Structure 1
């Protein structure tokens, strides 16, 4: 209130008061106190919203763990769950020490951040601890994607090395390019926007999903397929996961967490957009984002359901779950700037993209137990293209304000500049991740630190590397006789038993 000379303007209106100046000062101080309280409350609401979103995104780690566990054979269950724990734990330390600084350490150049190592000088204007936690949850999600591609044949030390490198360096650089206000392709730069637009990758179809998918692709290619995945004649042999129940549980946990992943990327909720409708603001855009996320996933699930029925002749719950997640990965880039009807198109095409890449992987003898490269890489790339085609002018200007005339979706009349920027995003992410993670996996392979021995792979890593099975018993077909556990049967009842 002081900026408007409250006391000086109010005093003449209180001429009947014994001390008009003092009365005016008192009233204005009360207004100032109320204003400060409202400001504090707004910060508290926005911080609570961001923290809650961070918790939802972190809950996706449990979803990844359950999905991965159900998608591998029983003899490798403990191994894959331990790698998911390590993704979060190692990722937490390395993102704290280096990753956040490389990603958001402002001021910086367009390529890499250079402040806040170890959260030094934190909090700072525009950056609080809640923001770090939210971004860390995203970083470990990228590492979790990669772990699925190389499951069932990777040494534990390799998991630790690649997870630290990905979350501490590779992923943060990409997030700096597209999400930091200093990034060379960020839509929030003050000037010199890429194609007058920057890249609209709102929640990370490219930054998270394409990065994780390409990293996993290189790991799986360099390691080669699992033993028995392709027969001597090159025929594909399905090595099915051992628990559809865990796959479904993991899928629903990921679905739940995606409501923090996409809507939470607004970072705050108490923000009005103006206009005549006072009920419309950022809270409405957040609701719309949750709706587009839902519709894309649902459409992809149903498309996969009927598509697989036509191709294979049966209804497959695992394929439907992967289709659902593919729809989510695709909508993640444009969830905030497209209409709900466009999200249905996104999900439909995402299902087709996933099915097509799975067929291609089979022909090329590429083995990915969780279809992670096809799902997150392929559908993530489609999501980037989709956004550049269907981004709506009104929503783009609301989410990225301050630049009238900003390009928007090609099919919505916004020209081709946004599409050009997004094609560049796909190319630079593929190039950067290939140039960093590819050599890392290759060096680990040459040092014999990447793949386990054929004997360990045949017996299962739970027994050979982790001291025992995850379950009380296993099917003998999954394990050599020397390691098979027999089912424990109930004791035989005797004729004199009280329960006979």
Structure 2
């Protein structure tokens, strides 16, 4: 908020006497007090908005946990839940020590930040503790995406190592490139890439592609789960044990996405000074929430009918993944496109997800959460979509101060934004592949990546975590003992869902 100033000498001259000069000084003192209070109120409102958005994004961790738990078999529920908790905890420590500094430690060079390690000297008008909390919630979201790709056959120590490396270095460097004012491809950099910079508003590339590509390499190197493909290479469905948890996780992620996308404005009390007193950043926040909603809804319905034509079933799990694919795609351009364009984004995102899943089956690639296909594939589409449909008016509002900035190709803005976004896809793919692919390969060679065949068949809950997530037996004293129940044939056991060959569905 611009400071409002009052000069007593100038005001006294207008009033026209020495007495009025004293009055002018008094008026200016009161005016300055009011101006300071207004400025403080602006900071308080914007910080409250940012913190509330951070809490919404953090709630997505619960969504990830429920979605992952429901998508794996019951015998691995404890394992996947623990990895989700540790993603947040490990990510919090390493992002505090290194990640935030590498991402937003200004002033710095165009490649990596170099200030604010362990939040030293962080407090300033542009950066505060609330900024750290919000950005940390994004960092652990990227790590959560990766954990789903390698679920049900990965050693726990591998989760700790990759999560620390991803949140402490790999992801922060990417976010510095595209979100820091010093980043070489940032839309706020003084020397814009192709005169436009990259418009990745909330992270289709920075968050979703990073997490998806990391998961892609992890799943490729660790290999498919036992039984995922038969001896002829035909896919066999290893169904998750709880569609209820999948739906619960999806709705929690949907709720959190309203902090993920609209919250990425970082502030709300900002006027656009276009002659409309009712119109400002608060309006753009609302529009962003609407585009996010429409893209997800369209993708969900497209997936519903598309999968019905392919498989003959109305599958709730596929619909949930389609919905999330639409959200991942719109995340890049949510603030700079019209609602009608968001519908196109969701429609194509569903087609991208279905196509990526078909390709994964042909290549014998196993990802229990479809994370690489959903976040990587749909995230890449979202980056291209933004370069095609970004509207000039919205681009200039969200990224002011650069007259003549390129906008969407299909909106008449030329191809420079598209060229910048193609560069973004290539550099993210190369960076994450080089670092995370190498890390997973090293873990594989050291014997730290995949669990033994015996552990995988029995389930990691029993072999690695001390017991199952669910009570298989009723231990109430009013019932016969465990041994007696087994003797009488009265034990209560959960039955496994038999595998289904997907080419027969």
TM superposition score normalised by structure 1 = 0.94
- Between 1:1-10 and 1:122-131, the stretch displaced more is 1-10
Query: What do residues 379-407 of structure 1 show as CA deviations (whole Å, max 9, x unaligned)?
Result: 00000000000000000000000011000
Provide the alpha-carbon RMSD of the alignment.
Answer: 1.7
Q: Is the 8 A contact 1:473 1:485 kept in 2?
A: no
Indicate the residue corresponding to 1:426 in structure 2.
425
In the TM superposition, residue 24 of structure 1 has moved relative to its aligned partner by: 1.4
Q: Within 2, Cα distance between the matches of 1:6 and 1:308?
A: 69
In the TM superposition, residue 34 of structure 1 has moved relative to its aligned partner by: 0.5
Indicate the residue corresponding to 2:503 in structure 1.
none
For residues 192-341 of structure 1, the aligned pairs below 5 Å read 192-341=191-340
In the TM superposition, residue 121 of structure 1 has moved relative to its aligned partner by: 1.1
Q: Within 2, Cα distance between the matches of 1:367 and 1:226?
A: 7
Query: What do residues 446-490 of structure 1 show as CA deviations (whole Å, max 9, x unaligned)?
Result: 11000000000000000000000000129xxxxxx9xx993289x
Indicate the residue corresponding to 1:162 in structure 2.
162
Query: What do residues 400-437 of structure 1 show as CA deviations (whole Å, max 9, x unaligned)?
Result: 00011000000000000000000000000000000000
Indicate the residue corresponding to 1:497 in structure 2.
none
Query: What do residues 250-294 of structure 1 show as CA deviations (whole Å, max 9, x unaligned)?
Result: 000000000000000000000000122110000000000000000
Q: Is the 8 A contact 2:66 2:249 kept in 1?
A: yes
Task: Give the alignment partner of residue 486 of structure 1, picking from 477, 487, 491.
Answer: 491
Q: Is the 8 A contact 2:6 2:28 kept in 1?
A: no
Local SS of the residue matching 2:236: coil
Query: What do residues 70-121 of structure 1 show as CA deviations (whole Å, max 9, x unaligned)?
Result: 0000000000000000000000000000000100111111111111110111
Q: Within 1, Cα distance between the matches of 2:27 and 2:12?
A: 10
Q: Within 2, Cα distance between the matches of 1:78 and 1:239?
A: 18
Indicate the residue corresponding to 1:140 in structure 2.
140
Indicate the residue corresponding to 1:457 in structure 2.
456
In the TM superposition, residue 15 of structure 1 has moved relative to its aligned partner by: 5.5
Query: Which residues of structure 2 form unaligned runs of 5+?
Result: 474-485, 495-505
Q: Is the 8 A contact 2:6 2:32 kept in 1?
A: no
Q: Within 2, Cα distance between the matches of 1:5 and 1:107?
A: 33
Q: Within 1, Cα distance between the matches of 2:222 and 2:454?
A: 16
Structure 1 residues 371, 313: CA separation in 2 closer, same or farther (over 3 Å shift)? same
In the TM superposition, residue 365 of structure 1 has moved relative to its aligned partner by: 0.3
Indicate the residue corresponding to 2:100 in structure 1.
100
Q: Within 1, Cα distance between the matches of 2:138 and 2:219?
A: 22
Q: Is the 8 A contact 1:289 1:335 kept in 2?
A: yes
Indicate the residue corresponding to 1:10 in structure 2.
11
Local SS of the residue matching 1:376: helix
For residues 48-67 of structure 1, the aligned pairs below 5 Å read 48-67=48-67
Q: Within 2, Cα distance between the matches of 1:167 and 1:9?
A: 54
Q: Within 1, Cα distance between the matches of 2:391 and 2:236?
A: 45
Q: Within 2, Cα distance between the matches of 1:41 and 1:486?
A: 64
In the TM superposition, residue 3 of structure 1 has moved relative to its aligned partner by: 7.9
Structure 1 residues 485, 470: CA separation in 2 closer, same or farther (over 3 Å shift)? farther
Q: Within 1, Cα distance between the matches of 2:123 and 2:97?
A: 15
Local SS of the residue matching 2:263: helix
Indicate the residue corresponding to 1:441 in structure 2.
440
Structure 1 residues 448, 284: CA separation in 2 closer, same or farther (over 3 Å shift)? same
In the TM superposition, residue 346 of structure 1 has moved relative to its aligned partner by: 0.1
Q: Within 2, Cα distance between the matches of 1:284 and 1:295?
A: 17
In the TM superposition, residue 122 of structure 1 has moved relative to its aligned partner by: 1.8
